[in-house]
Structure 1
Amino acid sequence: MQKTWLIYALGGGWGHLNRALSLGRIAAHHRKVRIITNSPYTHYMNHEGCVIHWISNNISFSATCLQVREILLNTRYDGLIIDTFPRGLGGELADILPQLYPIPRILIHRDINPKYITAKGLESFVKKNFDAVIVPGEGTDLGLCDLPGVHHTAPWLIRNAEELPERNVTRSHILRVDKSVKTILVCAAGQASELSIFTQIALELHQRFPECAVRILAPDCPVDVPQALWVSHHPGIECLAAADVVIGGAGYNTVYECAAVGVPLVALAFHRLYDRQKKRASKGYWVKNIQEAVATVSILLDQVATQKTSVVSTYINGAVQAMHQIMSYKL
């Protein structure tokens, strides 16, 4: 019988589910992959051959915890993979994990606030309840990196380099831009409350740089944004690779996808309860407001004008590395 992996990927944006799909789609060639998520964007995304257990993001915290418990205790699986939150997004896994022995449990350790690690006693909790920890390209200075059984990979990406469409094809068919026009892509992949900020940026850029093509990548067309500027497409990395400059938040996927495809990212660091976007924003061009974002874009556009040829992306996808590491545990 084919083995089954169950991935816990709760979180309010694109990030946790996108990272889970990055691993799940590769593992799905060898395993059955199920993903638990409450992302409001689930229905906009290609499920990449994975089975999705969607929990509505509109129900109460206690109802969410009950549904998680129901899935974990009444679904057959051979290995459990937890993204980011060892105790669960709301602590709901704390009393469930000890009941799952001897099912192997793997923690995906993305950067989280050290205060949270200390307050919840995560070092001892992870050591007791997880068989291995995988760090998906976030460095060696994270709070749990000193634990035994820690493995490091390159960042996880939802497309391998050779899978990306040819740049001009994406420009023509998805972004609707001529290949000779410099393109600015506003990546509105954060929380719904931040969409208005990205809308302001897109409209400001459209006015300031009429010679450029400005596009805003979002699941639905934002209010006040002309339809001609809006793009809805998943996976977003295909659009990022076809842009000349990207403006977005400093979330995991946006930062590492831009770095992988070699496109400069003008990054706003938004406040998150657990994620430290300010730390990650330093990997791109960190700006503090819309005015700084527009000024930085202007500088980067001048640099784009001096480039003679388009660089073909080549990078290592850490999700492939992670799949092999997890399978080494006989999963």
Structure 2
Amino acid sequence: MTKTWLIYALGGGWGHITRALSLGRIAANQRKVKIMTNSPYAKQISDEGCLLHWIPDSADFAATCLQVREILLNTEYDCLIVDTFPRGLGGELANILPQLQAIPRILIHRDINPRYVQVKDLRSFVTNNFDAVIVPGEGTDLPLSDLPRVIHTAPWLIRNAEELLAQKIVRSRILKVDNDRQIILVCAAGQASELPLFSQLTRRLHEAFPESAVRILSPHCPEDELKTLWVSHHPGIECLAVADVVVGGAGYNTVYECVSVGVPLVALALPRLYDRQLKRASKINQVQNIPDALFTVKKILDTVNNSQSIPSYTNGAIAAVHHIMNFEL
């Protein structure tokens, strides 16, 4: 009988659901994969061979916790994988995980705020409630990365290098750039409340670089006047791979996708309750505001090599699937 994995991937934006799908799509060749998500964009993207349990993002805290509890305690699965939040996004896993001792439980440890780790005593909680911790390419300077059962992989990506669409197809059919103009891609893949910021950034870039093709990658069209510049395409890595420069936040997927495909990222460290975007952004082209972003984009475009190279990288999700399968045993 085929075994089933259940992935807890609650959290807004494209981030958590994309990371879950990066793992789930590879595992789906040998396992049934179910993903719990409350991303408002879940119904707009491909399920990649996984079954999505969508909890409406409009549900209040109590209703979300009830649905999580219902799924965890009344669904058949052979392995539970929890993304980022050991106790759950709202702490709802704290009294559920101890009831699941017979099922292998894996924590995916993306970087999180150390104060959250300290206040909630997550070191003890993770040690008592998880069989293994997998760090998906975030390095060793993480609050829980020194625990005994930690496994490190390369960053997880939703496409292997050889799976990316041909660059000519992405340029002409998706981004609608038919010549060899330089492409400035604004990646607005975070919270919906940040869309006005990225809309303003897109307008300023469009005005400042009239010879370049400026595009905004977003699940929803930000406003009517930007309709001709708007692109809605998932997975976004296929668009990032053909850009000359990307401007966006410093979230997990944006940073590691740009690094993997070899495209410079100009990053605004956006405020998050748990994620330390400032720490991630400090390692790349971090900017503080829109004028800084314009200046940095110009500096990059003046030196960028226009010849597009074929990306080559390691997808850590493949190794992660093998590690998790070993824990099933």
Establish whether TM, by shorter chain, passes 0.5: yes
Structure 2 counterpart of 1:325: 323
Query: For residues 174-185 of structure 1, what are the structure 2 equivalents within 5 Å?
Result: 174-185=174-185
Query: For residues 172-321 of structure 1, what are the structure 2 equivalents within 5 Å?
Result: 172-304=172-304, 307=305, 309-321=307-319
Q: Decide whether the 8 Å contact of 1:154 with 1:317 is kept in 2.
A: yes
Structure 2 counterpart of 1:115: 115
CA distance in 2, matches of 1:41, 1:189: 10
Structure 2 counterpart of 1:51: 51
- Residue 14 of structure 1 deviates from its aligned partner by 1.0
Q: Decide whether the 8 Å contact of 2:107 with 2:134 is kept in 1.
A: yes
- With 29-38 and 282-291 compared, the bigger mean Cα shift is at 282-291
Give the TM-score normalised by structure 2.
Answer: 0.98
Query: For residues 32-181 of structure 1, what are the structure 2 equivalents within 5 Å?
Result: 32-181=32-181
Deviation readout 1:205-229 (Å, 9 max, x if unpaired): 1111111100000111111433210
Match of 1:226, SS state, is helix
Q: Decide whether the 8 Å contact of 1:203 with 1:225 is kept in 2.
A: no
CA distance in 1, matches of 2:76, 2:199: 44
Structure 2 counterpart of 1:8: 8
Return 5+ residue gaps in structure 1 as ranges: none
- Residue 142 of structure 1 deviates from its aligned partner by 0.6
Match of 1:328, SS state, is helix
- Residue 166 of structure 1 deviates from its aligned partner by 1.5
CA distance in 2, matches of 1:141, 1:10: 24
Q: Decide whether the 8 Å contact of 1:255 with 1:283 is kept in 2.
A: no
Deviation readout 1:254-284 (Å, 9 max, x if unpaired): 0000000000000000110000000011232
Deviation readout 1:76-117 (Å, 9 max, x if unpaired): 000000000000000000000010121000000000000000
Q: Which amino acid aligns with 1:128?
A: N
- Residue 45 of structure 1 deviates from its aligned partner by 1.1
Give the percent of matched residue pairs that are identical in Structure 1 and Structure 2: 68
Q: Which amino acid aligns with 2:125?
A: F
CA distance in 2, matches of 1:284, 1:159: 22
Return 5+ residue gaps in structure 2 as ranges: none
Match of 2:328, SS state, is coil
Structure 2 counterpart of 1:17: 17
- Residue 330 of structure 1 deviates from its aligned partner by 2.7
Deviation readout 1:197-255 (Å, 9 max, x if unpaired): 10001111111111110000011111143321010000000000011110000000000
Q: Decide whether the 8 Å contact of 2:244 with 2:306 is kept in 1.
A: no
CA distance in 2, matches of 1:56, 1:124: 32
Match of 1:225, SS state, is helix
Q: Runs (4+) of structure 1 moved beyond 2 Å?
A: none
Aligned length: 329
Q: Which amino acid aligns with 1:323?
A: V
Q: Decide whether the 8 Å contact of 2:38 with 2:56 is kept in 1.
A: yes
Query: Measured at CA, do residues 259 and 225 of structure 1 come closer, stay the same or move farther in structure 2, by a change above 3 Å?
Result: farther
- Residue 308 of structure 1 deviates from its aligned partner by 5.7
CA distance in 2, matches of 1:204, 1:170: 24
Q: Decide whether the 8 Å contact of 1:199 with 1:225 is kept in 2.
A: no
Q: Decide whether the 8 Å contact of 1:10 with 1:37 is kept in 2.
A: yes
Q: Which amino acid aligns with 1:328?
A: N
CA distance in 1, matches of 2:276, 2:312: 27
